[in-house]
A and B are shown apart, each in its own frame.
Chain A
């Protein structure tokens, strides 16, 4: 482990030097395996939040207070520690320039992690594929990658933010959960036949993907990734 960036009170981005790393596609994930003294092991999957072009492989870990692995990764892990990691994994929830667009990204909470990889990759390769991100967070404090998402520098990317719980006094963006009206206003219309990537907690993904289908988007062009914890 090389470096950590504390994103907010609940999430930390962790950067790794990954020997013999084969490279990856934006949107893929890695498996992390932890082993206790007595041989007990725990494994979890984390989306890669860095771009393939970035120097180091990064994951962003949200601390679940009742979790087993996330409190260790966000609280115990130190620079120089070695972790058993495997990847890249997953070949469907990925975007490459050849996939074309336009691209509609919709993120809820820490679900923005693999979409940030896609955005950084888009910028790194100077892609001209038009891309939009609709990103939901509870507050500006809890918005991951706040600087990147509030001061975008990629001419072919439009970012719309919604803060569902707390909004700063001068907030000009949305202030509610992603809903039908918001998707109509902020997302590529179905007529543009966008390639959609929806990532977040299961209820968020169920709601957004279901609404997109109801609005007439092609279900075959809606890719989903559900972040679950232990689910319900």
Chain B
């Protein structure tokens, strides 16, 4: 590790055990998207689980709201180096959505309004690790942050937490999503600093 002459840095008052390597803690909530913000009205919104399932499942917005939901407080880590600690989200656990779904799939391609996709192993969505969130900090999720609903998978870099998510395609084989095709890491574990292809 080469020392940068004259650089001292500015340590933040954050628990180092909660900040992955190469990240800095921000109090703000930066916005990053590859294209324009999507604006989908909830009356036109559905959430679908399709692919390697016997019957695709679809929920309308009212049906989705009627599902058991939970509020979780998690740390999020963006590949562009910011981390935000203690963020509070309300949504439906993927365990709830996947409950009773019979599948031989090992992978998921999440898809969103605007054409965005991201891929994850199915097991990363189970066991209390992932949600479809529609509230942030007690308020309806703003469109620029992915509202009406976004995927929330806080143990992976935040591009995996697809904004404007509309469903999951269960797949027998892994298929890279949007950023994964543009040189970002296929899995994206912030604690292993898996930012880019080859990390």
Band of interface residues on B: 35 or more
Q: A36-B8, A76-B7, A82-B2 are in contact. Are A223 and B34 (CB under 8 A)?
A: yes
Interface membership of B196, Cβ < 8 A:
yes
Asked whether, in the complex, the Cβ of A72 is within 8 Å of the Cβ of B82, the reply is: no
B83 to chain A, nearest CB (A): 11
Kindly list chain B residues whose C-beta atoms are within 8 Å of the C-beta of A144.
none
Asked whether, in the complex, the Cβ of A231 is within 8 Å of the Cβ of B28, the reply is: yes
The proximity string for A residues 199-220 relative to B, scoring 1 for CB distances below 8 Å and 0 otherwise, is: 0001000100110110000011
Asked whether, in the complex, the Cβ of A202 is within 8 Å of the Cβ of B35, the reply is: no
Interface membership of A84, Cβ < 8 A:
yes
For the complex, give the distance between the alpha carbons of A155 and B37 in Å: 34
Asked whether, in the complex, the Cβ of B1 is within 8 Å of the Cβ of A92, the reply is: no
- The prevalent SS among residues of A at the interface is mixed
Q: For window 29-48 of chain B, which residues contact chain A by CB distance below 8 Å?
A: 29-38
Asked whether, in the complex, the Cβ of A231 is within 8 Å of the Cβ of B26, the reply is: yes
Asked whether, in the complex, the Cβ of B27 is within 8 Å of the Cβ of A230, the reply is: yes
Kindly list chain A residues whose C-beta atoms are within 8 Å of the C-beta of B32.
226, 228
Interface membership of B80, Cβ < 8 A:
yes
How many A-B residue pairs have C-beta atoms within 8 angstroms? Tell me: 116
For the complex, give the distance between the alpha carbons of A189 and B54 in Å: 47
Asked whether, in the complex, the Cβ of A230 is within 8 Å of the Cβ of B36, the reply is: no
A76 to chain B, nearest CB (A): 4
Kindly list chain B residues whose C-beta atoms are within 8 Å of the C-beta of A182.
none
Asked whether, in the complex, the Cβ of B144 is within 8 Å of the Cβ of A206, the reply is: yes
Interface membership of A186, Cβ < 8 A:
no
A153 to chain B, nearest CB (A): 31
Instruction: Write 27 A-B pairs (CB below 8 A) sorted by A numbering.
Output: A35-B4, A35-B7, A37-B3, A41-B1, A42-B7, A42-B24, A43-B22, A68-B10, A72-B7, A81-B4, A83-B4, A84-B2, A90-B182, A90-B183, A92-B182, A93-B34, A202-B30, A202-B144, A219-B36, A219-B114, A224-B33, A228-B32, A230-B26, A230-B27, A230-B30, A231-B26, A232-B28
Asked whether, in the complex, the Cβ of A45 is within 8 Å of the Cβ of B35, the reply is: no
